[in-house]
Chain A
Amino acid sequence: MAKPIPKLRYDEISTGDEAPVLSHKLDRNDLVAYAGASGDFNPMHSNEFAAQAAGLPSVFGHGMFSMGFLARAITDWAGVGNLTEYRVRFTKQTWPGEELTTRVVVTGKEDAGDGKQIQLDVTLANQDGESKLAGSATVVAS
């Protein structure tokens, strides 16, 4: 039976604490790799000619790539297997060449009957501070 090990200690966490930031410069190879690994072959992500014919400046990133990358910022900090909820709103598309940076901030904590939980606000933005995803997550602490 899997028993993931929480990396966060409930007593040491306070509102306003932040996870280490992750940054990644999105490139077309990422879009190709993610298309292959996820099965999302929408030409808007992999075919420059099709994207431009549709009136876009270029191919754009998969929203779910962004969601997966932002999840990494949470799991690197809290430990894989300790996420209980994760939800995002997709606010803007991502484009090759953008530097995407994560932000994971503690908004509260609760020691309820079913374990010690930390609530987080999570966002991904580009180098100009433009939000790409905004949402929340809950992780388990020890």
Chain B
Amino acid sequence: MALGREDVVGKPTGAATVHIERGPVSAFARALTDKNPIYHNLEAARAAGFDNIPAPPTFTFAAPFWGTYPEDQPEDPTGGKGSPMRELMGGLMAKGGIVLHGEQEFIYHKPVQAGETLYQEGKITDLYTKEANGVTMTFLITETVYKDDAGEPVVTERFNLIHRL
């Protein structure tokens, strides 16, 4: 049975402790063609008002790939079931069609810098369907917040995934 809106809205997608490190940040900036010394040279970062190398604006989207270490992860808020997104998208893909990244949003509350540890929590915030011209589009929205040691929000991400059939 397919998951409906009431089944998933508000449910957690996951939680993680994410370490931001200089090497991955620099490699990420370079991959984006950004040679700005601020991402590669500590003196340049400090001269620009930072304590350490700052992360490029979209870095938190990739940060968990680099900085989640098994020894300091929080309790799994999905209770071992994993993100509901998997079941949702699995169910939709079984009908065929494609999954696309529709929209992405970042809200920056504080700078993200190498040497910091961020605490990530995600949840599903919406699920809805639109039909037009014989095409059915299912929209899945998640919100992920990265907080610092003081529990203050640092970055909020909103991720909009579309399944099109």
Interface size class of B (residues with CB under 8 A): 35 or more
Residues of B within 8 A of A75 (CB): 36, 56-57
Option from A2, A86, A135 in Cβ contact (under 8 Å) with B113: A2
Tell me whether B50 is interfacial, beta carbon within 8 Å. Answer: yes
Interface size on A, residues (CB 8 A): 37
Which chain B residue lies CB-closest to A75?
B57
Q: Decide if B32 touches A68 in the complex (CB within 8 Å).
A: yes
Chain B interface SS verdict (over half): mixed
With A81-B48, A81-B49 given, is the CB distance from A87 to B32 under 8 Å? no
Chain A interface SS verdict (over half): mixed
Q: Decide if A88 touches B107 in the complex (CB within 8 Å).
A: no
Number of A-B contacts (CB under 8 A): 116
Q: Decide if A85 touches B107 in the complex (CB within 8 Å).
A: yes
With A2-B113, A34-B32 given, is the CB distance from A39 to B65 under 8 Å? yes
Q: Decide if A2 touches B104 in the complex (CB within 8 Å).
A: no
Query: Beyond the given A86-B108, A90-B101, could you list 9 further A-B residue pairs with CB under 8 A, ordered by the A residue number?
Result: A24-B33, A33-B30, A38-B65, A40-B62, A68-B57, A79-B48, A80-B50, A81-B48, A85-B108
Instruction: Mark B residues whose CB is within 8 Å of A.
Output: 24, 27-28, 30-34, 36, 38-39, 48-51, 54, 56-58, 61-62, 64-66, 100-108, 110-111, 113, 158
5 smallest CB-CB distances across A and B, nearest first, come from: A39-B65, A87-B105, A37-B31, A38-B62, A71-B57
Instruction: Mark A residues whose CB is within 8 Å of B.
Output: 1-5, 24, 30, 33-34, 36-40, 63-65, 67-69, 71-72, 74-76, 79-81, 83-90, 135
